[in-house]
A and B are shown apart, each in its own frame.
Chain A
Amino acid sequence: MSTTELLVEPSRVSPVQRAVVGAFRSREFAIAAVLVLVVAAATFKSSSFVFSHDGWRDLLLSPSLLLLVAIGEMVVIVTRNVDLSVGSTLGLSAYLTGRLFTDHPGIPILLVFVIGLVFGALLGCINGLLVTVFQVPALVITLGTMYAFRGALVHWAGSKQIYASNLPDSFQNLGTEQILTIPVLTIVGLAVLVLVGYYLWNARGGRELYAIGSDPEAAGLYGLPVARRVFGAFVVCGALAGLAGVVQDARYSTATSSTGQGLELQAVAAVVIGGVAIFGGSGSVYGAAIGAFLLITINAALPILGIPEFWQNAVVGVLILGSICLDRFLAQRRTHRLIESRDDA
């Protein structure tokens, strides 16, 4: 079976073969392999990286924050938009969580999670409205709201800080609690991942997000509800950043006015490394999730591998550039093959 046949006439290949070959050729598989390699190399140097209680837990727990934010970011990027305000949203939500526990002792933990989610969604509404109503590129709008939200947080928190002593023990325990050795917070992230993944693949609305990212103008002519869908994507992205804010408090038991700074770029990086096209239309949320795991794990593994800390950013940069160049190369080859096959027909 040739690659071209798989491109032009996938139906002639058996479903099993299609699934297997598709999986092996997929971007998700490639970065998962890189992730496994990184983990294997670090474990080889120091077996406690995986084979110790704390090592295993941290491996799964540390990415849970970025996982949530990257899932939201992916939903926005697939529509050919971007949300740079997620770090600030997370910071606001993290501080809000601390205040809720401080000002309302005994507040149910579940309620705090819901409040964080809804609060993030409201901030997402602001982004969504600005982008869809004013038709200004999301890059500019969310750059503005990134600073505006951060400014609001600095005004609100000032030099105050949320300490572990402000948070109930049962809430802090969530940060370390495990079910079948898997941290609870990671389970939350994975549950969201499955939910969003299911929606994007199986629901009409999810497919429309891809269509909009693939060609926004065609989507308009086609009669798709472009504004409503893009608005929805920003709300989901904000909600997940808000949820991540609560998770961050449970994980680190602290929040300041600078919590979440720089996370927006990490989220975009995770999405891009995960194979989601920066101009939308293609890629999967699972790729973005693996990208998030890879980013965090590399940062943890590099010191163990004896690579100085200040090289970490450079490594991430190389990963981004590498994955983008590879994408471009593969896309061009694919287009070329498809056009060639036309002449053979």
Chain B
Amino acid sequence: MAEQRVDPTLELRDVSKSFGSVAALRAGTLVVEPGMIHALVGENGAGKSTLVKIVAGVHQRDGGTFRFQGRDVDFATTAAAKDAGIAVIYQEPTLFPDLSVTENIFMGRQPVTASRRIDRAAMYAEAEGLFTRLGVHLDPRRTALGLSIADQQIIEIAKAISLDASLLIMDEPTAALSGIEVERLFAVARSLRDEGRALVFISHRFDEVFALCDTVTVMRDGSYVSTDRIEDTSVAEIVSRMVGREVAELFPKTPATIGDVVLEVQGLTTAGVFHDVSFQVRAGEILGLAGLVGAGRSEIARAVFGVDRYDAGSVRLLGRDVPPHQPRSSIRAGMAFVPEDRRQQGLVTEGSVARNITGVIRSGLARAGILTSRAENAAAVPWARRLEVKTGALDMHATTMSGGNQQKVVIAKWLATRPKLLIIDEPTRGIDVGTKAEVHRLLSELAGQGMAVLMISSELPEVLGMADRVLVVREGEITADLDRSDATPESVMTAATRSADSEPAA
């Protein structure tokens, strides 16, 4: 007897998507069977979220096949995807804070009477039923404002169930949940699976993936890597597939003599963001801060530099205390900070290259409070030359430059302050491969001259290639301090993804 084949609920093959010149997804493949919980894993930037947004109708694919319940589909809007029976729970819950939780669940498809008037009694009753089924105690009439993240997730799930969705995608739903709440979510997920629905579960916590899911698909650099039944694979195997790529040649860190301690951070804490963070950076050393997006790396850097406040702890530069929440004092003390988002926070994109480079040292250039373009240009020339910023002229607008050159201008701006410590967040994000190497060479050269560098990067190869030492941050805590020789993709990823043994303090 021939085996009856059921169409997969979702079938994506070689789906691609680019934003401008950046390919977010090269060849995404994902086949999800009904009655299965399917894990989707991959490093930051592997293309998981883009894939999800294509399925949800937020983005439209550039190429590849997209089949839903055996039919070729093309969702132009989120509404179309929803009507087809796809529910997505995003990392950030998307609720309407002013409205009742019931309205949040039924918005746009409220039960109506014959005269198309909303039947509130029926709506509340249905919401009650959903909450009972989910095993939560929530009043259907209360507003969504003030709900905990866990309860907000529950509302999202209730939404999905009431939609009677045949495919439910959860993008890191457990990131903000405690142990009990995760268990409750898993129980719901399993009961949905047993009803024959298909679920996609995106998570960085491998123990959860292995506890909950039936199959797992690995993605890397925007492409499909593998799909396995969960019992046929292991954490180690998955991790190696997530990171498996050649590291060595791209990032030529020249060895430098490590000197005295430049930056010393002690017990830095901001409630709910990071706890008890302590580390040192020495002269000539590049310290890599690795971890997943949202682990709190940028927040730590911003607190050290004084952009954000912190609740407890101390920051010392060259043995002297740096006062908290005063970026100006930090600059004077010898810190420089190249932020993650250079267009928004690092550059005056409408300003000239010279103006950008001299931005921080401007008060020193002004004569009697008046700043001339000539003074700016004269001060900018040596820095621009040193970094080989490729622009026709110093009065060219920064907005017209390539990402790599923009980054060099931002770095030049800070080098003009002659810092002792350079904090650099995602140094090569959005920069093409050739220029990446130049930025890396520059960083390595600066360290060689005795500068201390604190580098945050989501690109594992970059961290491993550049850093003398790697700190791994997970959910606001430092989980590993690895020497260059001990830092491997596996050791870093393991430290970055291990789920919390104990409850994080509230």
- Residues of chain A touching chain B, judged by Cβ–Cβ distance below 8 Å, are 7-12, 201-204, 207-208, 210-211, 213-215, 217-225, 277, 281-282, 334-335, 337-339, 341-342
Contact = CB atoms under 8 A, between A and B. Distances in A.
Contacts of A334: 145-146
Interface stretch (B103-111, B277-285, B370-378, B381-389): B103-111
Contacts of A223: 57, 77-83, 108
B140 A11 contact: yes
Interface in B120-159: 124, 139-143, 145-148
Interface string B229-261: 000000000000000000000000000000000
Nearest to B80: A223
Given A218-B94, A281-B99, 12 more contacts: A7-B142, A8-B139, A11-B141, A201-B118, A202-B117, A207-B107, A208-B108, A210-B98, A211-B107, A211-B108, A214-B96, A224-B79
B110 A207 contact: yes
B340 to A, nearest CB: 21
Contacts of B142: 7-10
Contacts of A339: 146
Nearest to B104: A211
B480 interface: no
Nearest to B81: A223
A190 B95 CA distance: 33
Contacts of B147: 338, 342
A335 B146 contact: yes
Contacts of B107: 207-208, 211, 222, 224
B478 to A, nearest CB: 28
Contacts of B112: 204
Given A11-B139, A281-B97, A222 B146 contact: no
Contacts of A214: 96-99
A232 to B, nearest CB: 15
A342 B148 contact: yes
Interface of B: 56-58, 77-83, 90, 94-99, 103, 107-110, 112, 116-118, 124, 139-143, 145-148
A328 to B, nearest CB: 14
A218 B139 contact: no
A203 B117 contact: yes
Contacts of A277: 98
B110 A204 contact: yes
A221 B79 contact: no
A221 B78 contact: yes
A220 B78 contact: yes
A9 B94 CA distance: 22
Given A222-B107, A223-B78, A203 B98 contact: no
A210 B145 contact: no
A282 B98 CA distance: 6
A211 B146 contact: no
Contacts of A202: 117-118
B94 A221 contact: yes
A7 B101 CA distance: 12
B118 A204 contact: yes
Contacts of A208: 107-108
A210 B98 CA distance: 8
24 contacts: A8-B139, A8-B142, A9-B142, A10-B139, A204-B109, A204-B110, A204-B112, A207-B99, A207-B103, A211-B96, A211-B107, A213-B98, A215-B94, A218-B94, A218-B96, A219-B96, A222-B82, A222-B108, A223-B79, A223-B108, A224-B108, A334-B145, A338-B146, A342-B148
Given A8-B139, A8-B142, A281 B98 contact: yes
B108 A335 contact: no
A221 B118 CA distance: 23
A207 B58 CA distance: 23
A22 to B, nearest CB: 11
A223 to B, nearest CB: 3
B145 A215 contact: no
A9 B143 CA distance: 10
B140 A207 contact: no
A218 B139 CA distance: 22
A277 B98 CA distance: 10
Report the 7 A-B pairs with minimum CB-CB distance, sorted nearest first: A338-B146, A223-B79, A218-B94, A214-B96, A281-B98, A223-B78, A10-B141
Tell me which of A9, A218, A223, A225 has the highest count of chain B C-beta atoms within 10 A of its own C-beta. Answer: A223
Contacts of B94: 215, 217-218, 221-222
A7 B23 CA distance: 47
Contacts of A204: 108-110, 112, 116, 118
Contacts of A338: 143, 145-147
Contacts of B143: 7, 338
Contacts of A222: 78, 82, 94, 107-108
Nearest to B53: A221
A12 B124 CA distance: 13
Contacts of B57: 223
B350 to A, nearest CB: 19
B139 A9 contact: yes
A140 to B, nearest CB: 20
A339 to B, nearest CB: 5
A27 to B, nearest CB: 14
B139 to A, nearest CB: 4
B96 A342 contact: no
A271 B118 CA distance: 25
